A and B are shown apart, each in its own frame.
Chain A
């Protein structure tokens, strides 16, 4: 589904990703965990095209993606739920969702919106309210629902648990594991390593711009070094 090879990226003169290799297979949930500043968000920004690469390639569904402008990548089937949620705070919940389906004008938009409301009933209650008035958890739900309105094959999720109450985090993670049943492949970037590894099939550990470890989730969870450094066990 998604293959990244030798990806490097820089902010000005400072390189923050020093050659990342990773792949996500169809139907998988893959997580990239790591501490603050490891470059996880930059990696996702490169994948969705809002951050330029300095070298390396991205292949998505058999085609090179790194030269495709950001706004065309959703049409290729890659959706990004960006860090800090980035919902449109001045627009209503419904308008946010409709913007998620900006590329489509068919009747499926209404059906997709019903599905989104089924997934997150609270959004239906608040559909005509301005999105800026939602709580953090609700905004995260809206950001994910909006990304799903774009009918992606693969969804990039950036820190969906950030700043949320534990009970809400659990709810969000449940929804993410449920995406598998919908046939959506997920690349999940998380600081909450334990929660992310529990729902993922495979994981990558990122440290200061490099992948330092990878493997099936159970393996990573039981790895003593990771238990100590990231899981606090």
Chain B
């Protein structure tokens, strides 16, 4: 039997999860949780490209999610753009900002990117909180309807709002994962993983290290921006929390917890960390405590990340 490539296997597993999971949903609420997992998974897939492939750490990626989200809220009102185009505008702005922030910093080696992006994220979050006139401040702002579900209804496909966003975000995640997996096997992806190992050796084989790191940073910013837009559009409402520091940390944690080097692992991490707080509500006021404990235990016993560690254990049993 021919062995499945990691790429096809990942896509198959993801597609199966998206299609089969609803069969087990006891209520409509779970569609919403599922959609949230997919959105987080998409943002974290961007982190896989930046951190897992290229070995760079960003602590301000929520800033890009915020830009994507607020673009969907503001551009329709102020520029008259349809929400879908507003999301595209968010992508352009996020990409451009990532380029401007990353260009001077990624020439340097080390953790400068983490510090600079930390500042960037806080900056975005401050602007969103303080520019009340424009952004509505900490109370948030209403986001117009995407309008696609109405269109589907006209074509005779009548699904609930929860179902619509579940499948819409699921498809977005599949596309995002497909792109990230293709990138991994491409010469560019190989070069990214190479500079992760040794920047000096990467240079000696002709790789423009600074430019490549910048590319990875811009691509991952675009992922975060799209995720932010999807979140805003499905909630029809957005607050500055989406750009908050905690959200940035959450993205990195999801990726590392699941296994930053693998797309499926990182998405699994997003799933676990999105679900856990829902499950842990039974612990009431101890929820945060238990969440922290679970995460610590996972990092101690599954150090390479959830998926890579589990795969290794499974393989170990075969031999």
Q: List residues of chain A with CB under 8 Å of any chain B CB.
A: 48-50, 69-72, 74-75, 79-82, 86-91, 95, 98-100, 102-103, 105, 146-147, 149-150
Contacts and interface: CB of A to CB of B under 8 A. Distances in A.
A189 to B, nearest CB: 14
Given A90-B193, A90-B196, A98-B187, A71 B206 contact: yes
B275 interface: no
Q: Which secondary structure dominates chain B's binding surface? A: helix
A98 B198 contact: no
21 contacts: A48-B203, A48-B204, A50-B203, A69-B208, A71-B209, A72-B206, A80-B204, A82-B204, A86-B200, A86-B201, A88-B194, A88-B197, A90-B193, A90-B196, A90-B197, A99-B190, A99-B194, A99-B207, A102-B191, A102-B207, A147-B205
Given A91-B190, A95-B190, A100 B196 contact: no
B190 A74 contact: no
Contacts of B196: 90
Nearest to A74: B206
A49 B203 contact: yes
Contact of B193 (A50, A69, A91): A91
The 4 A-B pairs with the shortest beta carbon distances in the complex, nearest first, are A86-B201, A74-B206, A70-B203, A80-B204
Contacts of B201: 82, 86-88
A71 B207 contact: yes
A79 B191 contact: no
Interface in B161-209: 187, 190-191, 193-194, 196-198, 200-209
A203 B138 CA distance: 72
A95 B205 CA distance: 12
A212 to B, nearest CB: 28
A146 B193 contact: no
A95 B204 CA distance: 15
A89 B207 CA distance: 17
Contact of B200 (A72, A82, A98, A150): A82
A149 B187 CA distance: 14
A223 B187 CA distance: 50
B193 to A, nearest CB: 6
